[in-house]
Amino acid sequence: MTISNEAVDAVCAAHVTILPREAIRSILEAAAGIIRAECLEEAADHAFKDKKIQGLQRVLIGNYLRARAVAERGEG
C-alpha cells in the first residue's frame, strides 16, 4: 500500500512546527483516519474478489468494510 496524496495533505495541514517527538505524533494523528480508510477500502476490494467467501457474505463483508472506510473519512 502506498500513502495517498490525501494522507500527505492531511499531514501538511497539521502545520507541524513542534519538537520532533511531538511532530511525529501530530503527523501520525493527522494522517491516521485517512490511512485507516485506505486500508479498509483495500480490504473491501479483496473481500469482493475473494472466491473463498460465499457470494452474499462476500458482498456483506465488502459493504461493511466500505462503510467503515466512509466513517473513518468522516463522510458518513
Query: Tens digit of pLDDT for each residue in 43-73?
Result: 999 999 999 999 899 999 999 999 999 999 8
Eight-state DSSP code of residue 8: H
Buried/exposed code over 22-60 (b: 16+ C-beta within 10 A; e: otherwise): eeeebeeebbebbbebbebbebbeebeeeeebeeeebee
pTM of the model as a whole: 0.71
Q: What pLDDT, on a 0 to 100 scale, did the predictor assign at position 30?
A: 82
Domain-by-domain residue ranges, the chain? 5-73
pLDDT digits (tens, 9 = 90+) for 11-49: 777 765 665 777 777 777 888 888 999 999 999 999 999
Please, what sign has the CA dihedral across residues 6, 12, 14, 16?
positive
